[in-house]
Structure 1
Amino acid sequence: MKKWKTKFIEFIIKKKILIFGKFILKSGRISPYFFNISLFSKGKDLDKLGKFYAHKLISMNKKFDLLFGIAYKGIPILISTVIALKNYFNINVSYSFNRKEIKKYGEKGQIVGENIQGKIIILDDVLTSGQSIKNIIKIINNNKKSKISNILVALNRNEFGKKNISAKKEIKEKYLCSISSIININDIIKYLKNKNIMKKNLKILLKYRNKYILK
């Protein structure tokens, strides 16, 4: 496992972004773990988060003109990432994000920031079913001046969906969009095994993987 992946896993465990218990997902599936990136609520944490996303973006070696954050959790991810790209990599990139509701006064509209155009990378926190990502893909694809270059999330849960394929594969096949992640659930499992920690949680997680997760 790459060193920066290990650091990211240590970071989310320390900050209790990754927690274990019993959680009902949007799909109705009961998960033994939850990834709550909204708990990164301090400047220092967001600075680190932005660096992880920026580092991954650079390592992907994908050309992009604009970064797009998915409301709501994708917005602080987006802002921290564009700042990190400028401060640590001297890359000055444009950004925009969506409103969940179309504004009916002032400048109106659903998009905040730069106009959607050029090669775009979408940023979000976690990939489970991919529904929020699919909604944004439709918005961006309606603009003929834009093309989605890639989608980047912090965590890919690697779970089977309704069609018995992963959300990552479903999106790639339907929308021709590649999805990357800083880590996936198998990275977390590998980390817990190597460190020989959280044995009870690991046992439950392995059982869940056998039922719902791609290895």
Structure 2
Amino acid sequence: MTTSSLPNYKSQLIEHAMSVDALKFGTFTLKSGRISPYFFNAGLLCTGPILATLASAYAATIIEAQSSSPSSNALPKFDVLFGPAYKGIPFASTTALLLHTQHNIQVGFAYDRKEAKDHGEGGMMVGVPVQGKKVVILDDVMTSGKAVRGAIDTVKANGGEVVGVVQALDREEVGQDGVSSTVKEVEDLVGQGRVQSILKMRDLMIWLEKNGMQKELTDMREYWQQYGLKN
């Protein structure tokens, strides 16, 4: 699992995230009660250089998913990036920008409000209308999947079709039942293979091994043996 090398955009995101403590290794108690050897907080990715790195990584992941296996339709062409309020808003706006400037792909972006606005344009949605459009949702990390399911419902309620989800990090863990995963559950809603991720837990392990962080790697391997997806 830890013998491959990582694309530059993955390594850069890991390193930038660690530099601002958005990615930390140690001992952390998750909401699920599990004791994790690492923690990821995308809300700390909030400077210009780091946002540029993250948006470039989102864009590269989208391009890779669309071009690596066209026959599988892993991530079809789409019209709008949707960023759930609040953390998803800069993800969607900056990724739309990078898709244009780096890949010459033009898509709109949209996001929701936590509370409906009763003046101006009103409503819960801001940005490009999603009515009749194919939409990809950008997420940070799926735990229970509650947030992304809410985003899917919001897009559908406004007439859009969710054709994919791209998350910053896939923890690659089994659910509380010890069998299923949140990613597979969300794929049941948007289509098999249409939940993509910039980073996976196995990528973090590759990076740790490459950088000689043996204790952290050992802890990650032990956690993987207990909770990691084995397929």
Fold in common (TM above 0.5): yes
Structure 1, unpaired ranges of 5+ = none
Alignment-derived partner of residue 8 in structure 1: 13
- Tell me which moved more, 57-66 or 104-113: 104-113
Fraction of identical pairs, as percent: 38
Q: 2:50 aligns with which of 23, 28, 45?
A: 45
Give the 3-state SS of the residue equivalent to 1:129 in structure 2. coil
Cα drift, residue 174 of structure 1: 4.5
Contact 2:83 2:110 in 1 (8 A): yes
The partner residue of 1:102 within 112, 116, 137 is: 116
Q: 1:32 to 1:59 in 2, by over 3 A?
A: same
Match of 1:152 in 2: 166
TM-score by length of structure 2 reads: 0.83
CA-CA distance at 1:152 after TM superposition: 0.2
Aligned to 1:196: 212
Deviation at 1:180, TM superposition (A): 0.1
Q: Contact (CA 8 Å) 1:128, 1:156: kept in 2 or not?
A: no
1:134 aligns with 2:131: no
Paired with 2:33 and 2:149, the residues of 1 have a C-alpha distance of 19
CA distance in 2, matches of 1:114, 1:123: 15
1:34 to 12, 32, 39: 39
The 5-angstrom pairing of residues 50-89 of structure 1 reads 50-61=55-66, 62-89=76-103
CA contact (8 A) 2:208 2:216 kept: no
Q: Which contiguous aligned blocks of 4+ residues in structure 1 show a shift greater than 6 angstroms?
A: none
Alignment: residue pair count: 213
- CA apart distance, 1:27: 3.0
Match for 1:166 among 178, 181, 192? Answer: 181
Given that 1:128 and 1:158 are in contact with CA atoms closer than 8 Å, whether structure 2 keeps it comes out as: no
- The SS at the match of 1:22 is strand
Deviation at 1:11, TM superposition (A): 3.1
Asked whether the 8 Å contact 1:128–1:159 carries over to 2, the reply is no
Call closer, same or farther: CA 1:100–1:28 in 2, change over 3 Å.
farther
Q: Return 5+ residue gaps in structure 2 as ranges.
A: 67-75
For residues 12-23 of structure 1, the aligned pairs below 5 Å read: 12-23=17-28
* Structure 1 residue identity aligned to 2:117: K
Deviation at 1:93, TM superposition (A): 1.4
Contact kept? 2:57, 2:198, Cα under 8 Å: yes
2:220 pairs, out of 192, 195, 205, with 205
What SS class does the counterpart of residue 9 from structure 1 fall into? helix
> In 2 relative to 1, CA 27–98 (structure 1 residues): closer, same or farther, beyond 3 Å?
farther
Counterpart AA for 2:151: I
